[in-house]
Chains A and B, each alone.
Chain A
Amino acid sequence: MPRVVDPSESRYRDLVESGRGLICTHDLAGTLLSVNRAAADRLGYAPEEMVGKSLAEFLAPSVRPMFGQYLDRIAHQPADEGLMLVVTRGGEERIWTYSNVRAQDPTGEPYVLGHAQDVTDLKRSDARAMEAEALRSVAQLALATAHEINNPLTIIIGSLQLLIVRGQISEEAAGPIDRVIRAAEQIRDTVRNMSRITRLELSRQSPSLPDVLDLRKSSDPRA
């Protein structure tokens, strides 16, 4: 006699199958027993291509060694949650947050019901926001530094020039004094570049710091 599917079971299956949540079940060895379409789609596979394989195969190689620890935890605790780094068929790494619970099928066989969400974009925008914030701090520091350094530099350069103009510098002292002025002007240029660069960076709100922040390079007029 064909099995009559209970309408509530059918609805439940629809929910899992057509829902956008990423759902799978696996045994305590990590072998996938079922994968819903949303999860398989995200990884670039059909559900049937994944069933029977170890979940570890879909993890990024860098985190695969940690899979044993996860299996150990879920075998001894009722639930486990955290972040996992998966890899799509195309080789792209994605960050999923998972919340898995251990369950039992009607025969008493334990299995794990996994539920995940792709949080890659969220995590990346968090990282970008943090970088932008760090950049703002650097820029503020650079501007404050410029202000504080430029006044004493003005005194050094201006006072030495006054002495020269007034003829109060002996011939022997002229060389060293000139070197001091040139060194002070070098500091001026560095400070100027520093504030200019950070401003440029701020206006771009660039998520990554290009080598323009390499002061050695950026203060080199030939660069």
Chain B
Amino acid sequence: MSEKRILVVEDETNVRELEAEILRGEWDHVDTAVDGTDALRLLAEHVYAAIVSDLAMPKLDGRGLYEEVERRWPAVQHRLVFVTGYAEAEEYDEFLRHSGVPVLAKPFRMADLLGAVKRAFSPA
């Protein structure tokens, strides 16, 4: 068990709770945010070792979150992992290629999520 914090950003309640539950099996502190704006609020309060975020979200989507993180906390940028059911959507293609943020497609197996977070994980 690690003391490091993980942040889950997802607008779908069920998916958010599931992801948090899976991650809590490995990490003690898993916070959740309902969209990018909510995530920015938490990022201003805590340092996260990894951030698991949905791409398509209301208010501020994954791309907007990435851009804000890049601007405000550039060191955290490489701790992002996108989890999306929309990976085939053309609108995010260019952004994903350009940003190089790892993408995990929904639905995933538990091991895939844990593996992706561990790879992005960086001791804060």
User: How close is A190's CB to chain B, nearest CB, in angstroms?
Assistant: 12
Q: Report yes or no: B106 in contact with A199, Cβ–Cβ below 8 A.
A: no
Interface size on A, residues (CB 8 A): 24
User: How close is B11's CB to chain A, nearest CB, in angstroms?
Assistant: 10
- A154, A155, A162, A184 — which one has the most chain B CB atoms within 10 A of its CB? A154
- Complex: A161 Cα to B25 Cα, angstroms: 12
Q: Report yes or no: B110 in contact with A158, Cβ–Cβ below 8 A.
A: yes
Q: Which residue from chain A places its CB closest to the CB of B89 in the assembled complex?
A: A143
Please tell me which one of the listed residues B21, B86, B107 contacts residue A157 in the complex, with CB atoms under 8 A apart.
Answer: B107
Q: Report yes or no: A151 in contact with B12, Cβ–Cβ below 8 A.
A: yes
Q: Which residue from chain B places its CB closest to the CB of A161 in the assembled complex?
A: B110
Q: Which residues of the other chain, B, contact A199 by a CB distance below 8 angstroms?
A: 88, 90
User: In chain B, residues 13-48, which have Cβ atoms closer than 8 Å to a Cβ of chain A?
Assistant: 14-15, 18-19, 21-22, 25
- Complex: A162 Cα to B17 Cα, angstroms: 12
Q: Which residue from chain A places its CB closest to the CB of B18 in the assembled complex?
A: A158
Q: Which residue from chain A places its CB closest to the CB of B88 in the assembled complex?
A: A195
- Complex: A215 Cα to B107 Cα, angstroms: 20
Q: Which residues of the other chain, B, contact A149 by a CB distance below 8 angstroms?
A: 85
Q: Which residue from chain A places its CB closest to the CB of B21 in the assembled complex?
A: A162
Q: Report yes or no: B18 in contact with A155, Cβ–Cβ below 8 A.
A: yes
| B6 located at the interface, meaning its Cβ lies under 8 Å from any Cβ of chain A in the complex | no
Q: Report yes or no: B89 in contact with A158, Cβ–Cβ below 8 A.
A: no
Contact (A147, B56) CB under 8 Å given A155-B18, A162-B22, A192-B105: yes
Interface membership of chain B positions 67-101, coded 1 if the CB is closer than 8 angstroms to chain A and 0 otherwise:
00000000000000000011011100000000000
- Complex: A156 Cα to B106 Cα, angstroms: 11
Q: Report yes or no: A154 in contact with B15, Cβ–Cβ below 8 A.
A: yes
Q: Report yes or no: B25 in contact with A147, Cβ–Cβ below 8 A.
A: no
Contact (A162, B110) CB under 8 Å given A147-B85, A154-B18, A196-B88: yes
Chain B contact residues, CB within 8 Å of chain A? 12, 14-15, 18-19, 21-22, 25, 56, 85-86, 88-90, 105-110, 113
Given A158-B19, A196-B88, 6 new contacts (CB under 8 A): A143-B88, A154-B108, A157-B108, A158-B110, A192-B105, A199-B88
